[in-house]
Structures are given as C-alpha cells and as structure tokens.
Structure 1
Amino acid sequence: MEKDEEADRDNALNTRSLRYLHEIEVHGGVRAAADALGINASVVSRQVAQLERRHRVVLLERHGRRVALSDIGRSLLEHFRESCRRDADMLAQLEEFRGLRRGRVGIGVGEGFVENLLAIALERFSAEFPDIVVELHSGSTAAITAMVRNDEVDIGLCAGGKRDPSIRAKSFRAAPFCALVSPRHALAAAGPRRIRLDELKAQRLIFMPEQFGAQQYLDAILHAERLNLAPAYRCDLFSAAQAIAAAGLGVAFMSTDAARQYLDAGRLVALELEHPIAREFSSQILRRVGRRLSPAAEFLWRQIGDAMQRTLRVSRSKAGKDS
C-alpha cells in the first residue's frame, strides 16, 4: 500500500510547477516569470526541471535567447488552466450557494476608462457589495484580452480590438476619435472642426504602442489613406500623451472620453478626424466564453454595460463642444 501511495505521488502533477509553467508562457521567459512572481529564477527552473524528470518529457524549448513551451508543455498548461477555471467556477457556485458577499473581482481596464467610466459603475457596486475587493489591472487592448482569456481577471474593459473566439465581447460605439492639440497650437486657431490626417504631415505626432486599440484605429486610417506618417513621440500612457500635447509639443490621438479631464480643463482641444474608420471607434467589455462569473462579478458586468451606455449619451452631447 505504501509503495502504491508513493507511486501516486510520483505521478501526480505538481500544481506549483504548472503555475510556474503558466507564468513562463505569459511573461515570455524564466527570468521574467520569476520577476513577476517575486522569486529567484533558479527556483522556477528547478521546479520545471523536476517536472520534466518526473514525467520524462521536455516542457521548454530554447529558440536562440527565447524559451518557448513544447507541444506537451502547452498541453499541460491548458490542463492547468482548465483546472483553475473549474476551481474558480466551483468557488463561485459555493459563494452563490452560501450567499457570501466577500471575495474579489478582477478587472482589466484600459487607462482611458478608469476615471470616466469605472467611477460611475463602481459607485453602485461598492454600495451593493461593500466587502468585495476590486482589483484593477491596466494594460493595452491586447494585454487586457489576454488577461480575460487566461482568467487573470473576471472582466475586461478596453478599446475595440481584434475578435477572439474564446472571448465574449459586448461592444459600444465610443466617443469621437480625435486629434488632440494645445489651445495654443496652430491647428486650434481655426476653432472646432474636423481634420484630415493628410493635414498633419508637417506636425510632430504622438503615437501609442501598436498593441493599443487607439493606435490600431489610427494605423488603420493611415493604411486606408496610404499615408506614411512617423511619430515624434511614442508612449504607453495616455496621460503622458495628453501632457505632451497640452504642452504644445505634438498631436495626440484618442477618444474624447480618454482625454476628458484635459478637455474640461481647457488644456486640450479636440479635432475630430474626418474618416469613416474614426467614426467606427468603439469600446468593449469582455469576459471569457464559458466562464461562470460570481454574483458580484455578474452584477458589475451589468453595471459597466449600463454605465457605458450612459457615458456614450453624455459624450455625444459634449462632442459638439469639443470638436
């Protein structure tokens, strides 16, 4: 009997090792995974090596300086993620069954949505679930989609992006997608108007990284117009892009909602982009297909959807003032 139990332990999958494998895949390497976990890289390497020896398989393959999961490594990772999903679903059911109102809700949110939208949705949520901890994780559209897909957050909120079959997305027409300049900028002298991108050829432009939804829309317009405009600045914070534009150093691109504080303070002027793609600019809330949300997360999902509808109506009424 003791030998059978020992054999079972030897064949059992080590959850910690699988967790490390997950972090390696998410962060793109052993050292990056260790940094994210706050542990020594040797600990991660040792755990993965033990898993490989125990089951006599190769889980990691080296491609130059990069490390990637092997086919069996990816299969193990999907098994681990599915186990985590089942555990999360069961915990949500237990919470619902017991009527508990404690726990956490994770939200991946684009920077431009935090103040204008979440504050509205969270006000009622906090009153309804005062003991629920809300964890906010910021990132680009691509990063937030990955967070939802990997169950790192319950809900995602970001600019519209590429379709993903594993993601349920509810899209909303967003506030106008605009070029933003200082009130002292030459482009603002003519007053509120629509502007074509080819009018910006001589300007110093502020771009976001390619994985940002706003930049993807801008790139789509440039491609459609066959324009090759190079940025003077590229930054991964909307607040930084707004500050640079407000200082008169360049032209930023984003929705009027994302720049609401600067617009209301008179530090930026919005010039709506004259192009069909700009008018299609959208925002979206995300959840993973097949995932059962806790009652608190389900409530927040509905609240964010309602808040997006209300915010859209307000944004449309302000659009005439900003553009």
Structure 2
Amino acid sequence: MTRAVVCAGLVAIAVPAPVAAQSNDRLQRLEQQVNALQRAVFPGGDDRFFEPEITPERALPQDTSPQVTTSALTDVLARLEAIEGQLARLTAATEVNENALSSVETRLTAMEGSDIAAVTTSSTGPASQSSTTSAGPSGVIAVPSDNRTSQTAPASSNVAAASSSTSEPAAGPSPERLQAVQGIAKPATGDAGDDEYTYGFRLWDAGFYPEAQQQLAMFVEQYPNHWRTTYGRNLLGRAFLDAGEPRAAATHFFDNYQSDGNGARAPDSLLYLVESMIALGDTRRACIALAEFGESYAALAAGRLADMYGDLGGRVDCN
C-alpha cells in the first residue's frame, strides 16, 4: 500500500515535469521578445541609456584660479571714460571761449585806439599837407616825420621867411639866453640815461622849451628801454604843449600812451592828450581820450590825477 502510494506520488510528480520545463522555456522566450520589443520601441531602454528624471547634482570641476568680477570694474571704467570725455569737451569749449573773448577784446581795443590814433594821423599825408594848408583846426593832427623835424620846423620856417625877404640869416639865441642855458647844470650820478633825462627836465622847468625839446628827444632816442623813458616822452610832449605847439605835443603824448600803457606816465600823457585836443578845438577826440582815461585808469581818476581829470572834464562837453 505504501509502496503503491509512493509510486503514485512519483508518477504525479513526474508527469508535470515536461510541462514545467516547457513553461520555463516559454517565459524565457517571452522575456527575450519583450526585451527585443523594448529595444525596438525604446532604443537604449534600460538603465544604461535612460537617465533618471531626478538625479543628484553633479559636482562641477572647481577652478582654483582667482575669479575677477568684471561687471563693477567695467562700470567704473565706463564712467571714467565718460567723465574724461566731458572734461575734454569742456576744456575745448573753454579754449574756444577764451579765444573768442581775446579776439573781441582785441577788436574793441583796436576800435577804441583807432579814434585816438587818428589824432596823430592825417588822411592824405600829414607832414606835407600841414605845410600847405591853413593853420586853423582841421580835426586831424599832423605827425612830424620824426622828432628832429618837428623840433627844427620853426627854425627852418624862420629861415625861409628871412631868405624870402632879405639875405640876412635868421637870428640865433641871444648871448644872454646862451649864458642862462649854460647855467643849467647837468648831473653826473653814474646813470647816464637818468642824467640826460634830468638835464632835460631842468631845461623844461627853467622855461627853455626848445632846448628841453632837443635834450628830451635825444634822451628818448638813445635810451628807449630806460625806466625813465616814459617820463621823457611825457615831458617831451609837455615841452611842446607849453611852447604853444599842441599838434606836436599830441603826437608825443599819444606815442607815450600807445608804447606802454602800463608806463608810469602813460595816464598823464592821456590826460595831456585831452588838453592838446581841447587846445586844437577837437572836442570829439578830446572826449574819446577822456573816456579812455576814465575806463583804463579808474583808480588814478579818483586818486593822484583826480584834480586834472575833473578840470578837463569841466572844460569839454562830452554829452
């Protein structure tokens, strides 16, 4: 009985063996087909080819070199370049404005000086025309060809007048005058230029105007750069003005003012130019010179030369 049961069990176990083996083969075949289908539909359809949707962050290779933040530096450099460009434009504009102002000042000075310069310039050759026209005020001051011509003009005219009437030579200075002139001592201080000027001043102060004219003209010619030259030119004009020759005086006054407007006696010469124009009856140029003095030498107009400035202003109507 027992043996029969065991045999039956063995038969029962042995019967499904081919079926199990067959099922296993079928499973393996199905798996292969699924894998083949998966490879066809989804190439690389396993972990080796499909990356997961969520993966841990990969560590980037670290650069050990120092990193420079260029954004801030770039902004600073750009702003600096903009500032430099603005400064360059402002500098250029400033230079243009300065040049324009300088040009305007030069033109204004030339316009103002042209009216005063007309005091010493004739429109058709002053020296030759003045000798052929009347002695009345013409509104234009004749300019002598040089100092020596203006100084010797009276003597030459006297000689011409004498020769036209008689053959006797013109009378020279009297012995008394020569002796008086010789009595004027010439200083000897070691400064030759200053000595020549001082001698001319002494001659003028003593009333020897022709002799003072010659002496001062010689000083101005020989010492054009001496510190006394501005005094010499001004005093030379006064020697002519005091001698009753306002035209020649105006020439020297204007020359002193024009040669060195900052000279010690340039403002004095400008006022004496006004006086010369008043003596000639030339109100227009007298007013121009008076206005120029008030504008250029305002401090002196209220200081050292205030009396002379006020007196001349009262002698001429510039309204």
Query: Rg bigger for which structure?
Result: 2
TM tier, smaller:
under 0.3
Greater share of residues in strand: 1
Greater relative contact order: 1 or 2 (C-alpha under 8 angstroms, separation 6 or more)?
A: 1
TM-score (norm 2): 0.23
